[in-house]
Structure 1
């Protein structure tokens, strides 16, 4: 009887660090940098892969790495668990298990809420305090923790929990959570609310991994707030970046996966249970189907354009100013009726979003249509049908509403 001997050429363990992927190469390079640092920390091979917008894909990276190891741990480089972490990455792991019988696959948790990350945020806050010349022990210092925002209430709930953990045991007057998009409360709104208490300083902490577009938007919002409120000193920190505490958190997620102690907050996940207000969202098997359709759409574009992982931009983008004066003139209703009109239209590839001040105060609500560079002014809810049916569906400008053409 012969005994099977393990192949000495194989590594016992390997790690695949999965980032979202970006059109900005600096963001993709950050994932590779973290992978290299994690490899040094764990002394096991660590490769990087991306969910979309960059190469290699998860499937391609697994195909390359699986033959070289006996066990592979897939760790999502995501701050919170939303659709990609709950659906897309697990689906890739399931495919890998079905096609690589000789490799054991483990699935690690996302970064989530971790003491090391709370400590990192505390250090970032102290650096901003130093720049502003204030000290939380002696001055009234408020903190606003700003995250990306998600359509997943479970993910958004973790942002509020993280803000509370940052507040506990520290001398901050208050720590508020805010979002830069998708959900509320928005950063600008939260800053104005905090200013009413007239703190000595407001520290804005972008809860972002990289120095991308959203991080820049958070910093710009903090600078604008600082200019608008001369009696409050305000400043923003940089993103988490590739700090050693991010690597420490990833190492812990790897060890949890190895020991089978991964914990996910599935009891409050809208993909598993029915939550009030989210009854129509895709859950369970439908969520997996959404992931498959999403990937198939990428594959279709890859065949045609030879450029995988690139999202098709909408034909038109409509921005509705919802700043103070426009809001007072009914901008919120205009926004919702435009969105409803686009949804009801037979063939209307348009994205409608809210915008901050467009610099035309008193002439609103302002509706800007791009790439046409046509601005409509004084738009009422009754005008929205014409904008949709004429301009957005048939490309005919509603001339009597035009405010400014750029």
Structure 2
């Protein structure tokens, strides 16, 4: 387990934003807020809570509030795995917040992921069920099932299997299986029936969920139905992760990674960066961010503006410059600044120019993507910036010799 994380005394001007999904069940939202309070006590710096949907405040509102008090915000994800919310939705909100608050440094952290503290927590959840059933894994044949939500992202699903295997290693379970309550296979019902063929003494079903919501309820119901169907096997569900203090160990680590620029993601198995069999048509990551920005701009730039006080004028074009590691090393920050300067000097340019996370063309950058045109420029140097602005942004003339791809 990680050691307790405390903030250095020099971080009076820093805050943390803990981002949860959001739920129609206020109890689930309160869990996020409770964790934010506990994390603030652990770190010794302000920690606010925000939500992606279904609850308030939204990320942009929370960051706007923090921007009045601090100069640096580290976004920490209260997400178990890296699926679309972690790879698309939160990065988009962070990019928009950076544009709205250029004076504020915003660090985007990682999801909870696979962490020793979570394995320790899962082990305790399993032990509580064993005590309830009156079995001992060192003496009895006890199988365990780690049941997660299930995702359309193979990288996220693979992490469930990794957790299950790590829970098995070094412990006395006869077997530990990964399963899902929906979206992908193996489904919980199929996994339990498969385990029943080996006739264990007991089966422990651990909901790999943060809260005790609808999906957790389905997992618990599935375990109880299995117990009734197979009288020769004792089975029972455990409790979700909840607000156990070991989550603070993980969140503290993710905060440290975010603020020191050492966030690690599984880029080699990310369907948005590499072509994985069966996922070739999926669009996500920075591409999804850019498409979402374009959609928002089109939605905002509609007729009868005076009738909608929430509408704002949208720029004609959005330009994203990849500032991920390889592009940054090749001069992307200079390209970004030259593009912005050339746009400011132009009387015709109507474009928003922002930094982007990885565009999936590592080694071919710096990459510059222009939307809604769907034109990506590769190998851009800072002296190319003026031509991109004067030709493409001012006069809609693509700079053909710089084109990497079109979407």
Query: TM over 0.5: same fold?
Result: yes
**Structure 1 residue 121 and structure 2 residue 104: aligned?**
no
Contact 1:11–1:70 under 8 Å retained in 2: no
Contact 2:88–2:284 under 8 Å retained in 1: no
Contact 1:179–1:186 under 8 Å retained in 2: yes
Unmatched 5+ stretches in structure 1: 1-9, 307-406
> Which residue of the partner structure matches residue 79 of structure 1?
80
Measured after TM superposition, the shift of residue 288 of structure 1 is 1.5
Matched residue SS, 1:149: coil
* 2-structure distance, mates of 1:35, 1:232: 40
What is the number of residues matched between the two proteins?
295
* 1-structure distance, mates of 2:166, 2:193: 23
* 1-structure distance, mates of 2:308, 2:130: 49
Measured after TM superposition, the shift of residue 11 of structure 1 is 3.8
Contact 1:51–1:57 under 8 Å retained in 2: yes
Matched residue SS, 1:32: helix
Contact 2:84–2:284 under 8 Å retained in 1: no
> Which residue of the partner structure matches residue 14 of structure 1?
15
* 1-structure distance, mates of 2:294, 2:220: 36
Matched residue SS, 1:247: helix
**Structure 1 residue 219 and structure 2 residue 213: aligned?**
no
Cα distance change, pair 215–285 in 1 and its aligned pair in 2 (3 A): same
Measured after TM superposition, the shift of residue 222 of structure 1 is 0.2
**Structure 1 residue 29 and structure 2 residue 30: aligned?**
yes
Contact 2:36–2:48 under 8 Å retained in 1: yes
> Which residue of the partner structure matches residue 241 of structure 2?
240
* 2-structure distance, mates of 1:247, 1:222: 29
> Which residue of the partner structure matches residue 188 of structure 1?
189
Cα distance change, pair 75–139 in 1 and its aligned pair in 2 (3 A): same
Measured after TM superposition, the shift of residue 281 of structure 1 is 1.0
> Which residue of the partner structure matches residue 382 of structure 2?
none
Cα distance change, pair 284–111 in 1 and its aligned pair in 2 (3 A): closer
Measured after TM superposition, the shift of residue 246 of structure 1 is 0.8
Contact 2:16–2:46 under 8 Å retained in 1: yes
Measured after TM superposition, the shift of residue 283 of structure 1 is 3.5
Contact 1:87–1:291 under 8 Å retained in 2: no
Cα distance change, pair 192–294 in 1 and its aligned pair in 2 (3 A): farther
- Scaled by the length of structure 1, the TM-score of the pair is 0.69
> Which residue of the partner structure matches residue 95 of structure 2?
94
* 1-structure distance, mates of 2:216, 2:300: 30
| Structure 1 vs Structure 2 CA RMSD | 2.2
> Which residue of the partner structure matches residue 112 of structure 1?
113
* 2-structure distance, mates of 1:173, 1:142: 5
Measured after TM superposition, the shift of residue 140 of structure 1 is 0.2
> Which residue of the partner structure matches residue 345 of structure 2?
none
* 2-structure distance, mates of 1:166, 1:187: 18
* 2-structure distance, mates of 1:165, 1:80: 16
